[in-house]
Amino acid sequence: MTQNEKFRFKRRMERRNLFSGICGADKSVKLVFLLLYLAGFIWVWCKQGAIRSAGDNMVLLSPILKLVLENSMTTYLLLGGGVIVFLLVYPFGKKAAQDQLQSIGLVNHAGMVPVLLRKYRDKENNHVTIWEFRSQSIPLVTWQDKQSSIEAALDVSVVKVKYSKGKSRILLHTVPARTDLPELLEWKDSCLSQTDFELVLGEGFLGPVKVNLAHIPHILLGGSTGSGKSVLLKLLLMQAIRKGAIVCIADFKGGVDFPAVWHKNCRMCFEETNLLALLTELVNELERRKSLFRESECPNISQYNKATGSALKRYIFACDEVAEVLDKTGLNKEQKELVSQIESKLAVMARQGRAFGIHLILATQRPDANILSGQIRNNIDCRVCGRADNVLSQIILDSTAAAEQIPKDARGRFLLHDGTVFQGYLCNEESL
Ligand X SMILES: Nc1ncnc2c1ncn2[C@@H]1O[C@H](COP(=O)(O)OP(=O)(O)O)[C@@H](O)[C@H]1O
CB-wise, 131 or 258, nearer to ligand X?
258
CB-wise, 111 or 226, nearer to ligand X?
226
Tell me the closest approach of the beta carbon of residue 410 to ligand X, in angstroms. 9
Candidates 229, 354, 359, 383: give the one binding ligand X (CB under 6 A). 229
Q: In the window 160-189, what residues touch ligand X (CB under 6 A)?
A: 184
Interface segment toward ligand X; rule CB under 6 A; list 22-30, 46-54, 226-234, 282-290 = 226-234
Q: Determine contact, residues 172/130, Cβ cutoff 8 Å.
A: yes
Distances from the Cα of 157 to the Cα of 105, 216, 310, angstroms: 19, 27, 48
Residue 225 engages ligand X in binding (rule: CB under 6 A): yes
CB-wise, 231 or 348, nearer to ligand X?
231
Candidates 21, 228, 353, 357: give the one binding ligand X (CB under 6 A). 228
Residue 157 engages Mg ion in binding (rule: CB under 5 A): no
Residue 21's binding partner out of ligand X, Mg ion, none, with CB under 5 to 8 Å set by partner kind:
none
Interface segment toward Mg ion; rule CB under 5 A; list 88-96, 226-234, 237-245, 333-341 = 226-234
Candidates 157, 174, 230, 239: give the one binding ligand X (CB under 6 A). 230
Residue 393 engages Mg ion in binding (rule: CB under 5 A): no
Residue 393 engages ligand X in binding (rule: CB under 6 A): no
Residue 227 engages ligand X in binding (rule: CB under 6 A): yes
Candidates 61, 192, 206, 231: give the one binding ligand X (CB under 6 A). 231
Candidates 135, 230, 393, 405: give the one binding Mg ion (CB under 5 A). 230
Q: In the window 400-429, what residues touch ligand X (CB under 6 A)?
A: 411-412, 424, 426
Residue 226's binding partner out of ligand X, Mg ion, none, with CB under 5 to 8 Å set by partner kind:
ligand X
CB-wise, 132 or 321, nearer to ligand X?
321
Site for ligand X, rule CB under 6 A? 184, 223, 225-231, 386, 411-412, 424, 426
